[in-house]
A and B are shown apart, each in its own frame.
Chain A
Amino acid sequence: MIRVVLPPHLRALAHVEGEVKVEIKGQATQRSVLDALEAGYPMLRGTIRDHVTQQRRPFLRFFACEEDLSHEPPDAPLPDAVASGAEPLFIIGAIAGG
Protein backbone atom coordinates (compact mmCIF):
# COMPACT_ATOMS: atom_id res chain seq x y z
CA MET A 1 0.00 0.00 0.00
CA ILE A 2 1.46 3.34 -1.11
CA ARG A 3 0.45 6.55 0.63
CA VAL A 4 0.10 9.67 -1.52
CA VAL A 5 -0.45 13.21 -0.29
CA LEU A 6 -2.17 15.35 -2.91
CA PRO A 7 -2.26 19.15 -2.98
CA PRO A 8 -5.54 20.55 -1.62
CA HIS A 9 -7.01 21.44 -5.02
CA LEU A 10 -6.53 17.90 -6.29
CA ARG A 11 -8.00 16.43 -3.09
CA ALA A 12 -11.10 18.53 -3.73
CA LEU A 13 -11.19 17.45 -7.35
CA ALA A 14 -10.90 13.77 -6.38
CA HIS A 15 -13.40 14.16 -3.52
CA VAL A 16 -10.96 12.81 -0.93
CA GLU A 17 -9.70 14.03 2.40
CA GLY A 18 -6.31 13.31 3.83
CA GLU A 19 -3.93 10.83 2.27
CA VAL A 20 -4.83 8.59 -0.66
CA LYS A 21 -3.77 4.95 -0.54
CA VAL A 22 -3.11 3.00 -3.73
CA GLU A 23 -2.17 -0.62 -4.38
CA ILE A 24 0.80 -1.25 -6.65
CA LYS A 25 1.56 -4.43 -8.54
CA GLY A 26 5.30 -4.83 -8.93
CA GLN A 27 7.86 -2.19 -8.14
CA ALA A 28 6.85 1.14 -6.68
CA THR A 29 7.93 3.89 -9.06
CA GLN A 30 6.57 7.32 -9.90
CA ARG A 31 4.95 5.83 -12.97
CA SER A 32 3.35 2.86 -11.24
CA VAL A 33 2.05 5.02 -8.41
CA LEU A 34 0.58 7.60 -10.79
CA ASP A 35 -0.91 4.85 -12.95
CA ALA A 36 -2.63 3.41 -9.89
CA LEU A 37 -3.70 6.82 -8.67
CA GLU A 38 -5.26 7.72 -12.02
CA ALA A 39 -6.98 4.33 -12.27
CA GLY A 40 -8.62 4.93 -8.93
CA TYR A 41 -9.32 8.59 -9.55
CA PRO A 42 -9.72 9.13 -13.31
CA MET A 43 -10.56 12.80 -12.84
CA LEU A 44 -6.92 13.33 -11.91
CA ARG A 45 -5.69 12.31 -15.35
CA GLY A 46 -3.91 15.19 -16.99
CA THR A 47 -3.62 17.18 -13.75
CA ILE A 48 -0.33 15.74 -12.48
CA ARG A 49 1.27 14.66 -15.75
CA ASP A 50 0.43 15.58 -19.29
CA HIS A 51 -2.13 13.38 -21.04
CA VAL A 52 0.04 12.77 -24.06
CA THR A 53 3.68 13.15 -23.03
CA GLN A 54 3.18 11.75 -19.51
CA GLN A 55 5.62 14.40 -18.33
CA ARG A 56 5.19 15.90 -14.85
CA ARG A 57 3.34 19.21 -15.09
CA PRO A 58 5.89 21.99 -14.68
CA PHE A 59 4.43 23.55 -11.52
CA LEU A 60 4.28 20.27 -9.60
CA ARG A 61 7.01 18.59 -7.59
CA PHE A 62 7.41 15.13 -6.05
CA PHE A 63 8.95 14.72 -2.61
CA ALA A 64 9.43 11.79 -0.21
CA CYS A 65 11.61 11.14 2.81
CA GLU A 66 12.76 14.77 2.69
CA GLU A 67 14.16 14.25 -0.80
CA ASP A 68 13.19 15.98 -4.03
CA LEU A 69 12.27 13.21 -6.46
CA SER A 70 10.89 15.56 -9.13
CA HIS A 71 13.70 14.96 -11.54
CA GLU A 72 14.15 11.25 -10.95
CA PRO A 73 13.30 9.02 -13.95
CA PRO A 74 9.64 7.92 -13.83
CA ASP A 75 10.64 4.26 -13.64
CA ALA A 76 13.23 4.69 -10.88
CA PRO A 77 12.30 2.82 -7.68
CA LEU A 78 10.80 4.99 -4.98
CA PRO A 79 12.48 4.92 -1.56
CA ASP A 80 11.88 1.76 0.47
CA ALA A 81 10.01 3.76 3.11
CA VAL A 82 7.50 4.87 0.44
CA ALA A 83 7.20 1.37 -1.02
CA SER A 84 6.52 -0.07 2.43
CA GLY A 85 3.97 2.61 3.30
CA ALA A 86 6.04 4.00 6.15
CA GLU A 87 6.35 7.37 4.41
CA PRO A 88 4.04 9.07 1.90
CA LEU A 89 4.84 10.39 -1.55
CA PHE A 90 4.10 14.10 -1.56
CA ILE A 91 2.76 15.76 -4.72
CA ILE A 92 3.21 19.47 -4.13
CA GLY A 93 2.26 22.54 -6.12
CA ALA A 94 5.02 25.06 -6.65
CA ILE A 95 4.61 28.17 -4.54
CA ALA A 96 3.97 30.80 -7.17
CA GLY A 97 1.22 33.22 -7.95
CA GLY A 98 -1.77 34.15 -5.84
Chain B
Amino acid sequence: MSKVRVLVGTKKGAFILTSDGKREKWDVSGPHFAGWEIYHVKGSPADPKRLFASQTSGWFGQIIQRSDDGGKTWETPGGEVMPTPGSMPAGASNKFVYDTSAPTGKPLTTHQWYDGTQHAWEFKRVWHLEPSLTDSNTVYAGVEDAAIFRSTDGGKSWHELAGLRGHGTGPKWQPGAGGMCLHTILLDPKTPGRMYIAISAAGAFRTDDGGKTWKPINRGLKSQYIPDPNAEIGHCVHRIALHRSRPNVLFMQKHWDVMRSDDAGDTWHEVSGNLPTDFGFVIDVHAHEPETIYVVPIKSDGEHFPPDGKLRVYRSRKGGNEWEALTKGLPQKDCYVNVLRDAMAVDSLDKCGVYFGTTGGQVYASADAGDNWAPIVRDLPGVLSVEVQTLP
Protein backbone atom coordinates (compact mmCIF):
# COMPACT_ATOMS: atom_id res chain seq x y z
CA MET B 1 0.00 0.00 0.00
CA SER B 2 1.19 3.51 -0.72
CA LYS B 3 2.43 5.74 2.04
CA VAL B 4 2.38 9.44 2.62
CA ARG B 5 5.10 11.53 4.20
CA VAL B 6 4.26 15.09 5.22
CA LEU B 7 7.22 17.41 5.73
CA VAL B 8 6.48 20.27 8.09
CA GLY B 9 8.70 23.28 8.71
CA THR B 10 7.93 25.30 11.84
CA LYS B 11 9.29 28.23 13.77
CA LYS B 12 11.07 25.85 16.15
CA GLY B 13 12.05 22.80 14.15
CA ALA B 14 10.98 20.30 11.49
CA PHE B 15 8.49 17.48 11.88
CA ILE B 16 7.85 14.48 9.67
CA LEU B 17 4.37 12.96 9.68
CA THR B 18 3.83 9.56 8.09
CA SER B 19 0.80 7.42 7.37
CA ASP B 20 -0.34 4.62 5.13
CA GLY B 21 -2.62 5.27 2.18
CA LYS B 22 -5.70 5.44 4.35
CA ARG B 23 -4.28 8.57 5.98
CA GLU B 24 -6.12 7.94 9.22
CA LYS B 25 -3.33 7.16 11.70
CA TRP B 26 -0.19 9.24 11.73
CA ASP B 27 3.25 8.91 13.25
CA VAL B 28 4.96 12.15 14.18
CA SER B 29 8.74 12.41 14.31
CA GLY B 30 10.61 15.47 15.47
CA PRO B 31 11.45 18.07 16.30
CA HIS B 32 14.42 17.89 13.98
CA PHE B 33 16.77 20.88 14.42
CA ALA B 34 14.89 21.87 17.57
CA GLY B 35 14.82 25.57 18.22
CA TRP B 36 15.72 26.63 14.68
CA GLU B 37 13.34 28.15 12.17
CA ILE B 38 12.75 25.63 9.40
CA TYR B 39 11.42 27.59 6.50
CA HIS B 40 11.03 24.66 4.12
CA VAL B 41 11.59 20.93 3.75
CA LYS B 42 11.13 19.23 0.42
CA GLY B 43 11.88 15.83 -1.09
CA SER B 44 13.53 15.08 -4.40
CA PRO B 45 11.11 13.73 -7.03
CA ALA B 46 14.08 11.86 -8.52
CA ASP B 47 14.98 10.20 -5.21
CA PRO B 48 12.23 10.49 -2.61
CA LYS B 49 14.54 9.43 0.22
CA ARG B 50 16.56 12.57 -0.36
CA LEU B 51 15.19 15.56 1.51
CA PHE B 52 16.50 19.10 1.71
CA ALA B 53 15.76 21.46 4.59
CA SER B 54 16.33 25.17 5.08
CA GLN B 55 17.36 25.75 8.70
CA THR B 56 17.80 29.36 9.68
CA SER B 57 18.42 31.60 12.66
CA GLY B 58 18.84 35.28 13.33
CA TRP B 59 21.87 34.38 15.44
CA PHE B 60 23.67 31.81 13.35
CA GLY B 61 22.51 32.45 9.80
CA GLN B 62 21.55 29.92 7.15
CA ILE B 63 22.12 26.17 7.27
CA ILE B 64 21.21 23.65 4.59
CA GLN B 65 20.46 20.14 5.80
CA ARG B 66 20.09 17.01 3.69
CA SER B 67 18.74 13.57 4.47
CA ASP B 68 19.26 10.50 2.31
CA ASP B 69 17.01 8.22 4.31
CA GLY B 70 13.70 10.00 4.26
CA GLY B 71 14.41 12.19 7.27
CA LYS B 72 15.71 9.63 9.77
CA THR B 73 19.20 11.15 9.75
CA TRP B 74 20.50 14.47 8.48
CA GLU B 75 23.80 16.02 7.48
CA THR B 76 25.07 19.38 6.34
CA PRO B 77 26.24 18.59 2.80
CA GLY B 78 29.99 19.04 2.61
CA GLY B 79 30.13 19.53 6.36
CA GLU B 80 32.45 16.61 6.94
CA VAL B 81 36.11 17.20 7.73
CA MET B 82 38.26 16.90 4.65
CA PRO B 83 41.28 14.56 4.87
CA THR B 84 43.53 17.26 3.48
CA PRO B 85 42.54 20.74 4.55
CA GLY B 86 41.77 23.04 1.65
CA SER B 87 41.38 20.20 -0.82
CA MET B 88 37.83 21.28 -1.57
CA PRO B 89 35.46 23.99 -0.39
CA ALA B 90 34.16 22.18 2.68
CA GLY B 91 31.53 23.87 4.76
CA ALA B 92 30.14 25.83 1.83
CA SER B 93 26.64 24.40 2.00
CA ASN B 94 25.41 27.49 3.80
CA LYS B 95 27.39 29.93 1.65
CA PHE B 96 24.97 32.00 -0.39
CA VAL B 97 26.93 34.80 -2.01
CA TYR B 98 25.40 36.92 -4.75
CA ASP B 99 27.26 36.45 -8.02
CA THR B 100 29.05 39.64 -8.99
CA SER B 101 31.73 37.97 -11.09
CA ALA B 102 32.35 39.28 -14.56
CA PRO B 103 31.55 36.12 -16.59
CA THR B 104 28.22 35.18 -15.03
CA GLY B 105 27.26 37.69 -12.37
CA LYS B 106 25.57 41.04 -12.15
CA PRO B 107 26.57 44.11 -10.17
CA LEU B 108 25.11 44.04 -6.69
CA THR B 109 22.98 47.13 -7.01
CA THR B 110 20.15 48.19 -4.73
CA HIS B 111 16.45 47.52 -4.38
CA GLN B 112 13.65 49.70 -3.09
CA TRP B 113 13.26 49.87 0.68
CA TYR B 114 9.94 50.22 2.53
CA ASP B 115 10.19 54.00 2.49
CA GLY B 116 11.00 54.19 -1.22
CA THR B 117 14.71 54.79 -0.80
CA GLN B 118 17.26 52.43 -2.29
CA HIS B 119 18.74 49.73 -0.07
CA ALA B 120 21.67 47.37 -0.49
CA TRP B 121 21.04 43.72 -1.33
CA GLU B 122 21.73 41.52 1.74
CA PHE B 123 21.38 37.75 2.00
CA LYS B 124 19.20 36.74 4.94
CA ARG B 125 17.78 33.22 4.51
CA VAL B 126 16.48 30.53 2.20
CA TRP B 127 12.69 30.56 1.98
CA HIS B 128 12.10 27.75 -0.47
CA LEU B 129 13.99 24.73 -1.78
CA GLU B 130 12.88 23.18 -5.06
CA PRO B 131 14.61 19.91 -6.00
CA SER B 132 15.00 19.08 -9.68
CA LEU B 133 12.36 16.83 -11.18
CA THR B 134 15.00 14.54 -12.68
CA ASP B 135 18.36 14.91 -10.89
CA SER B 136 18.60 14.34 -7.15
CA ASN B 137 21.81 16.41 -6.92
CA THR B 138 20.25 19.51 -8.40
CA VAL B 139 18.17 21.79 -6.21
CA TYR B 140 17.11 25.42 -6.45
CA ALA B 141 16.88 27.86 -3.54
CA GLY B 142 14.72 30.95 -3.36
CA VAL B 143 16.27 33.43 -0.95
CA GLU B 144 15.78 36.73 0.85
CA ASP B 145 16.87 39.31 -0.36
CA ALA B 146 15.28 37.99 -3.51
CA ALA B 147 17.43 35.85 -5.76
CA ILE B 148 17.55 32.28 -6.98
CA PHE B 149 20.48 29.95 -6.38
CA ARG B 150 21.21 26.48 -7.74
CA SER B 151 23.23 23.58 -6.40
CA THR B 152 24.27 20.73 -8.68
CA ASP B 153 26.19 18.79 -6.03
CA GLY B 154 23.47 17.87 -3.60
CA GLY B 155 23.56 21.12 -1.69
CA LYS B 156 27.31 21.27 -1.03
CA SER B 157 27.75 24.53 -2.91
CA TRP B 158 25.42 27.16 -4.33
CA HIS B 159 25.63 29.53 -7.27
CA GLU B 160 23.28 32.35 -8.06
CA LEU B 161 21.36 32.48 -11.33
CA ALA B 162 22.17 36.16 -11.51
CA GLY B 163 20.15 36.90 -14.62
CA LEU B 164 17.05 37.24 -12.47
CA ARG B 165 18.33 39.75 -9.94
CA GLY B 166 20.23 41.62 -12.60
CA HIS B 167 17.79 41.63 -15.49
CA GLY B 168 16.95 45.31 -15.00
CA THR B 169 13.93 45.74 -12.76
CA GLY B 170 15.72 44.91 -9.50
CA PRO B 171 15.91 48.52 -8.26
CA LYS B 172 12.09 48.58 -8.32
CA TRP B 173 11.65 45.44 -6.21
CA GLN B 174 10.62 46.05 -2.63
CA PRO B 175 10.11 43.92 0.47
CA GLY B 176 6.71 42.77 1.57
CA ALA B 177 5.86 42.58 5.25
CA GLY B 178 7.82 39.33 5.53
CA GLY B 179 10.89 40.63 3.74
CA MET B 180 11.93 40.70 0.10
CA CYS B 181 11.73 36.99 -0.46
CA LEU B 182 11.76 34.71 -3.46
CA HIS B 183 9.26 32.18 -2.15
CA THR B 184 7.93 30.23 -5.12
CA ILE B 185 9.85 28.14 -7.64
CA LEU B 186 7.90 26.05 -10.15
CA LEU B 187 9.71 23.74 -12.57
CA ASP B 188 7.90 23.10 -15.83
CA PRO B 189 7.79 19.33 -16.38
CA LYS B 190 7.03 19.62 -20.09
CA THR B 191 9.14 22.48 -21.38
CA PRO B 192 12.86 22.02 -20.70
CA GLY B 193 14.47 25.12 -19.25
CA ARG B 194 11.22 26.78 -18.24
CA MET B 195 10.79 27.88 -14.64
CA TYR B 196 8.49 30.27 -12.85
CA ILE B 197 9.36 32.17 -9.70
CA ALA B 198 7.57 34.71 -7.54
CA ILE B 199 8.86 37.47 -5.28
CA SER B 200 7.17 39.57 -2.61
CA ALA B 201 6.88 42.33 -3.60
CA ALA B 202 8.14 42.31 -7.15
CA GLY B 203 5.88 39.85 -8.95
CA ALA B 204 6.21 36.74 -11.06
CA PHE B 205 9.01 35.97 -13.50
CA ARG B 206 9.69 33.27 -16.08
CA THR B 207 12.80 31.83 -17.65
CA ASP B 208 12.78 29.70 -20.79
CA ASP B 209 16.52 29.00 -20.86
CA GLY B 210 17.20 27.32 -17.55
CA GLY B 211 17.66 30.52 -15.58
CA LYS B 212 20.05 32.53 -17.75
CA THR B 213 17.48 35.14 -18.71
CA TRP B 214 14.21 36.12 -17.11
CA LYS B 215 11.24 38.29 -17.87
CA PRO B 216 8.47 39.69 -15.67
CA ILE B 217 5.08 38.03 -16.24
CA ASN B 218 2.68 40.35 -14.47
CA ARG B 219 0.41 41.68 -17.19
CA GLY B 220 -3.16 41.74 -15.92
CA LEU B 221 -2.26 42.03 -12.25
CA LYS B 222 -3.77 45.05 -10.54
CA SER B 223 -2.52 46.18 -7.14
CA GLN B 224 -4.18 49.23 -5.66
CA TYR B 225 -1.48 49.56 -3.00
CA ILE B 226 1.27 50.60 -5.43
CA PRO B 227 1.54 53.93 -7.26
CA ASP B 228 0.71 52.43 -10.67
CA PRO B 229 -1.75 49.56 -10.07
CA ASN B 230 -0.90 48.06 -13.47
CA ALA B 231 2.86 48.36 -13.17
CA GLU B 232 5.12 45.73 -14.67
CA ILE B 233 6.85 45.31 -11.28
CA GLY B 234 5.91 45.73 -7.64
CA HIS B 235 3.02 43.27 -7.16
CA CYS B 236 2.97 41.27 -3.95
CA VAL B 237 2.48 37.77 -5.31
CA HIS B 238 1.96 35.35 -2.43
CA ARG B 239 1.99 32.00 -4.22
CA ILE B 240 1.70 30.37 -7.66
CA ALA B 241 0.65 26.81 -8.43
CA LEU B 242 0.35 24.65 -11.53
CA HIS B 243 -0.76 21.16 -12.51
CA ARG B 244 1.90 18.93 -14.01
CA SER B 245 -0.31 17.92 -16.93
CA ARG B 246 -0.62 21.46 -18.32
CA PRO B 247 2.05 23.68 -16.84
CA ASN B 248 1.17 26.67 -19.00
CA VAL B 249 -1.93 27.19 -16.81
CA LEU B 250 -0.99 29.03 -13.62
CA PHE B 251 -3.00 29.95 -10.57
CA MET B 252 -1.92 32.79 -8.28
CA GLN B 253 -2.87 33.99 -4.83
CA LYS B 254 -1.84 37.62 -4.77
CA HIS B 255 -1.86 39.98 -1.79
CA TRP B 256 -5.38 40.70 -2.98
CA ASP B 257 -6.98 38.74 -5.85
CA VAL B 258 -6.85 35.15 -6.98
CA MET B 259 -5.58 35.13 -10.55
CA ARG B 260 -5.29 32.72 -13.45
CA SER B 261 -3.09 32.61 -16.54
CA ASP B 262 -3.67 30.30 -19.51
CA ASP B 263 -0.57 31.36 -21.42
CA ALA B 264 2.37 30.62 -19.12
CA GLY B 265 2.00 33.89 -17.29
CA ASP B 266 2.00 36.21 -20.28
CA THR B 267 -1.44 37.49 -19.23
CA TRP B 268 -3.54 37.07 -16.09
CA HIS B 269 -7.19 37.48 -15.25
CA GLU B 270 -8.96 37.50 -11.92
CA VAL B 271 -10.90 34.44 -10.75
CA SER B 272 -11.70 35.51 -7.17
CA GLY B 273 -15.43 35.17 -7.89
CA ASN B 274 -17.53 34.58 -4.79
CA LEU B 275 -14.71 34.21 -2.24
CA PRO B 276 -15.49 35.96 1.06
CA THR B 277 -12.16 37.74 0.75
CA ASP B 278 -9.68 37.42 -2.06
CA PHE B 279 -6.70 37.94 0.25
CA GLY B 280 -4.74 34.88 1.30
CA PHE B 281 -1.40 33.18 1.01
CA VAL B 282 -1.71 29.58 -0.18
CA ILE B 283 -3.05 28.18 -3.43
CA ASP B 284 -2.77 24.65 -4.75
CA VAL B 285 -4.13 22.35 -7.45
CA HIS B 286 -5.77 18.93 -7.08
CA ALA B 287 -3.39 16.14 -8.10
CA HIS B 288 -5.75 14.62 -10.68
CA GLU B 289 -8.14 17.42 -11.61
CA PRO B 290 -6.32 20.37 -13.18
CA GLU B 291 -9.36 22.63 -12.82
CA THR B 292 -9.81 21.94 -9.11
CA ILE B 293 -7.98 24.49 -6.97
CA TYR B 294 -7.82 25.37 -3.29
CA VAL B 295 -7.29 28.59 -1.35
CA VAL B 296 -7.67 29.65 2.27
CA PRO B 297 -9.18 33.16 2.39
CA ILE B 298 -7.68 35.37 5.07
CA LYS B 299 -8.89 38.73 6.33
CA SER B 300 -6.67 41.70 5.69
CA ASP B 301 -5.23 44.34 5.78
CA GLY B 302 -3.39 43.78 8.95
CA GLU B 303 -5.53 41.15 10.63
CA HIS B 304 -4.30 38.08 8.75
CA PHE B 305 -6.78 35.64 10.26
CA PRO B 306 -9.83 33.85 8.80
CA PRO B 307 -12.99 35.92 8.33
CA ASP B 308 -15.50 35.57 11.17
CA GLY B 309 -13.17 33.26 13.11
CA LYS B 310 -14.05 30.39 10.72
CA LEU B 311 -11.24 28.39 9.17
CA ARG B 312 -12.48 27.51 5.70
CA VAL B 313 -10.73 26.08 2.69
CA TYR B 314 -12.37 27.16 -0.53
CA ARG B 315 -12.42 24.84 -3.52
CA SER B 316 -13.22 25.66 -7.11
CA ARG B 317 -13.84 22.81 -9.52
CA LYS B 318 -13.94 25.20 -12.47
CA GLY B 319 -10.52 26.75 -12.26
CA GLY B 320 -11.78 29.70 -10.29
CA ASN B 321 -14.70 32.16 -10.09
CA GLU B 322 -17.10 29.65 -8.51
CA TRP B 323 -15.97 28.60 -5.06
CA GLU B 324 -17.42 26.38 -2.34
CA ALA B 325 -16.51 26.52 1.35
CA LEU B 326 -15.05 23.33 2.85
CA THR B 327 -15.66 23.31 6.58
CA LYS B 328 -16.22 19.75 7.84
CA GLY B 329 -13.69 19.09 10.57
CA LEU B 330 -12.30 22.62 10.59
CA PRO B 331 -12.94 25.04 13.47
CA GLN B 332 -15.93 27.25 12.68
CA LYS B 333 -15.71 29.64 15.58
CA ASP B 334 -13.02 31.51 17.50
CA CYS B 335 -10.27 30.54 15.08
CA TYR B 336 -7.69 33.23 14.42
CA VAL B 337 -4.73 31.44 12.87
CA ASN B 338 -3.06 32.16 9.55
CA VAL B 339 -1.98 29.78 6.80
CA LEU B 340 1.32 30.92 5.34
CA ARG B 341 2.26 30.81 1.69
CA ASP B 342 4.23 27.57 1.62
CA ALA B 343 1.95 25.73 4.03
CA MET B 344 -0.39 23.82 1.69
CA ALA B 345 0.30 20.71 -0.38
CA VAL B 346 -1.48 17.79 -2.03
CA ASP B 347 -0.64 14.11 -2.32
CA SER B 348 -1.23 12.08 -5.47
CA LEU B 349 -3.25 9.24 -4.03
CA ASP B 350 -6.73 8.48 -5.24
CA LYS B 351 -8.58 10.28 -3.63
CA CYS B 352 -6.33 13.27 -3.58
CA GLY B 353 -5.16 14.30 -0.11
CA VAL B 354 -4.94 17.97 0.78
CA TYR B 355 -2.85 19.29 3.69
CA PHE B 356 -2.21 22.63 5.28
CA GLY B 357 -0.55 23.97 8.42
CA THR B 358 -1.40 26.97 10.54
CA THR B 359 0.46 29.54 12.55
CA GLY B 360 -1.27 27.98 15.57
CA GLY B 361 0.64 24.74 15.05
CA GLN B 362 -2.12 22.58 13.60
CA VAL B 363 -1.62 20.48 10.49
CA TYR B 364 -4.96 19.56 8.91
CA ALA B 365 -5.43 16.82 6.36
CA SER B 366 -8.24 15.78 4.08
CA ALA B 367 -8.10 12.33 2.49
CA ASP B 368 -11.03 13.06 0.18
CA ALA B 369 -10.03 16.14 -1.76
CA GLY B 370 -11.26 18.54 0.88
CA ASP B 371 -14.71 17.21 1.74
CA ASN B 372 -13.68 16.22 5.28
CA TRP B 373 -10.80 17.43 7.41
CA ALA B 374 -9.05 16.32 10.58
CA PRO B 375 -5.96 17.53 12.37
CA ILE B 376 -2.91 15.28 12.10
CA VAL B 377 -1.30 17.22 14.95
CA ARG B 378 -2.64 20.16 16.90
CA ASP B 379 0.16 21.67 18.93
CA LEU B 380 3.30 22.13 16.88
CA PRO B 381 5.14 25.44 16.80
CA GLY B 382 3.78 27.84 14.22
CA VAL B 383 3.86 26.14 10.81
CA LEU B 384 5.90 27.82 8.09
CA SER B 385 5.67 25.18 5.36
CA VAL B 386 4.03 21.88 4.43
CA GLU B 387 5.11 19.51 1.68
CA VAL B 388 3.86 16.01 0.89
CA GLN B 389 5.52 12.97 -0.63
CA THR B 390 3.45 10.09 -1.98
CA LEU B 391 5.54 6.96 -1.64
CA PRO B 392 5.10 3.47 -3.12
Check B62 for interface membership: any CB of A closer than 8 A.
yes
Tell me the smallest distance from the CB of B85 to a CB of chain A, in Å: 6
- B60 close to A51 (CB less than 8 A): no
Check A39 for interface membership: any CB of B closer than 8 A.
yes
- B81 close to A39 (CB less than 8 A): yes
Q: Which of B92-100, B219-227, B310-318, B336-344 contacts A (4 or more CB under 8 A)?
A: B92-100
Check A38 for interface membership: any CB of B closer than 8 A.
yes
Give every chain A residue within 8 A of B33 (Cβ-Cβ). 12
A12 to B95, CA, bound (A): 19
The size bracket of the interface on B is: 20 to 34
Give every chain A residue within 8 A of B95 (Cβ-Cβ). 45-46, 51
Tell me the smallest distance from the CB of B145 to a CB of chain A, in Å: 15
Number of A residues near B (Cβ < 8 Å) is 27
- A42 close to B59 (CB less than 8 A): no
Return the contact of B63 from the options A41, A43, A94 (Cβ within 8 A). A43
- B57 close to A9 (CB less than 8 A): yes
- A9 close to B91 (CB less than 8 A): no
- B97 close to A60 (CB less than 8 A): no
Tell me the smallest distance from the CB of B180 to a CB of chain A, in Å: 19
Return the contact of B60 from the options A9, A52, A96, A97 (Cβ within 8 A). A9
Segment 55-88 of B: residues with Cβ below 8 Å from A: 57-63, 76, 78-82, 85
A91 to B34, CA, bound (A): 20
- B91 close to A45 (CB less than 8 A): yes
Check A85 for interface membership: any CB of B closer than 8 A.
no
A93 to B58, CA, bound (A): 10
Tell me the smallest distance from the CB of A37 to a CB of chain B, in Å: 11
Segment 22-49 of A: residues with Cβ below 8 Å from B: 38-48
- B82 close to A47 (CB less than 8 A): no
Give every chain A residue within 8 A of B35 (Cβ-Cβ). 8-9
Give every chain B residue within 8 A of A9 (Cβ-Cβ). 35-36, 57, 59-60
Given A43-B91, A52-B97, A13 and B59 contact (CB-CB distance below 8 Å): no
- A42 close to B81 (CB less than 8 A): yes
- B85 close to A39 (CB less than 8 A): yes
Return the contact of A10 from the options B60, B79, B92 (Cβ within 8 A). B60
Give every chain A residue within 8 A of B85 (Cβ-Cβ). 39
A31 to B164, CA, bound (A): 36
- A42 close to B90 (CB less than 8 A): yes
A12 to B60, CA, bound (A): 12
A48 to B60, CA, bound (A): 6
- A94 close to B62 (CB less than 8 A): no
Max count, chain A CB within 10 A of own CB: residue among B35, B60, B90: B60
- A44 close to B59 (CB less than 8 A): no
Return the contact of A43 from the options B34, B79, B82 (Cβ within 8 A). B79
Give every chain A residue within 8 A of B63 (Cβ-Cβ). 13, 43, 47
List, sorted by A's number, 27 A–B pairs whose CB atoms are closer than 8 Å. A9-B35, A9-B36, A9-B59, A10-B60, A12-B34, A38-B91, A39-B81, A42-B76, A42-B78, A42-B80, A42-B90, A43-B76, A43-B93, A43-B94, A45-B94, A45-B95, A46-B95, A47-B63, A48-B60, A51-B94, A57-B59, A57-B60, A57-B61, A59-B58, A59-B59, A93-B59, A96-B58
Please give me the 10 A-B residue pairs with the lowest Cβ-Cβ distance, nearest first.
A42-B91, A43-B79, A45-B91, A43-B76, A42-B90, A47-B60, A59-B59, A93-B59, A51-B95, A46-B94
